Structure formats: structure tokens, C-alpha cells
Amino acid sequence: MAALARDAIPATERLRVTEIFHSLQGEADTAGFPTVFVRLTGCPLRCRYCDTEYAFYGGGWQSIASILAAVEPFGTRYVCVTGGEPLAQPNAARLLARLCDSSYRVSLETSGAIDARAIDRRVIRVLDVKTPGSGEVERNFLPNLESLRPEEMVKFVICNRADYEWSVGFIRAHALQGRAQLLFSPSAGELAPRELADWILADRLGVRFQLQLHKLLWGGEPGR
């Protein structure tokens, strides 16, 4: 779907989009399912391990209607709105609700640095908690944790042993066990997956270990 001039779209209907593509979900509880990804442009964070820096700038303006039209031909029930940081654009909430209205199973991947409490409850939020290794630990918006539901997910990207211990302490301090699904991912190229798996097993930690399936299959290239 071709991008339009910004002023050609009503202010309440426009979003800057980096890409819309069809792939296998690589993370969270729908890993492996064919999914349409709507990657919005822009992010106020600069996590040290970010793998989507190309989405910080650029993109093209699209209306919510044109985004829905681009998603529909893929014929999948799963749609993931991601970024960048999707919630950096105010109309992201409207897009999420409209996708739900179209009977998609909608997930939101968010950095956890922006208030996500008012997002449509039909949306499954995958909320990052930024560890010290990310360089953005001070940006965690902790009130988001108050509205978590059991079907939603909290993700920790673990860079090293210090990050692991910090994350375990964070889960305990905020009583997250049982309130949402807890995901631990090794930071690619920094922490060996087996090492993180061994720590989880040794501590009998009630979290879900995950690798990024899309990186195993396609090496993390854009649009895959």
C-alpha cells in the first residue's frame, strides 16, 4: 500500500508505518504461527541491543483503513503491532482497536516505557521490562504492571548474569509470578542461550525461556 502525504489523511487516522509483512511469529505464546506484522516508525528509547534501528526514522504515512486493507489479503487471524515503539504514536491505540473489531487476534509489542493501561482489553500486551544491560532501565513505566492480565506477557531480555539476578529480583519485588506470563530471552550475541537455560533450571524459576525463532530461520533480516 503506497504511502500518502501526511496532510492527505485525517489527523485521527494517520500513522507512520515502516513496514507491513507476513512471517512466522518468533516470540511469545503464538511463536510459530503465521502472523502479519505492522511495524510502526519511531521510538524514544535507544536500547543497546536493539535490532530494529531501521524503524527509528523514515516510514510512510498511512491511514488506518489502508493498514487494514494491507493486512487482510494475508488471510491470517494473528496480527502483531510492533516498532520501534508503537505507542509513541497516539493513533496506535485506535489502530489496535480497529484490528480487534475486524476479528483478528491482536498483540502489541511495547517497550514498557509508555503508559499502556488504556489499550483495548482485547489486545494482548507483550510488555518489555528493560534490564540494566539495555541501558534504559530508568525508562520502565511501572504503573503498567498494575493492569496485567494472565494471558499477557512480560519479557526480559537478559544480557548477562547481573541482568538475570536483577530480573529475578524484579519479579519478586513486583509480585509478577502468576499475574502474567514471564518470558526470559538471551540477548543475541551477548549471552549463550544454553547458559540462560541452565540458570533458569538451576533456580527452578517459573518463567518461560524463549529464543527468537525468526532469527534462527532468517537471521533477523528486515521484513522477516
Pairing mode of beta strands 34-40, 60-63: unpaired
Task: Determine, yes or no, domain membership for 224.
Answer: no
Query: Length of the chain in residues, anyone?
Result: 224
pLDDT for the residue 121: 97
Whether residue 184 is contained in a domain is answered as: yes
Bridge partners, 180 (sequence order)? 177
Q: In order along the chain (224 residues), what is the average pLDDT of each group of 10 residues?
A: 75 96 94 96 96 95 97 97 97 98 98 97 98 98 97 98 98 97 96 98 97 80 68
Domain assignment present for 124 = yes
Output the domain CATH number for residue 81. Answer: 3.20.20.70
Instruction: Answer whether residue 189 is part of any domain.
Output: yes
Query: Does any domain span residue 223?
Result: no
Question: Has residue 1 been placed in a domain?
Answer: no
Q: What is the 3-state secondary structure (H, E, C) of 65-87?
A: HHHHHHHHHHCCCEEEEECCCHH
- Containing 168, the helix (H) or strand (E) segment is helix 161-173
Count of the separate structural domains present in the chain: 1
158 lies in some domain: yes
Q: Which residue segment(s) compose the domain that 141 sits in?
A: 6-218
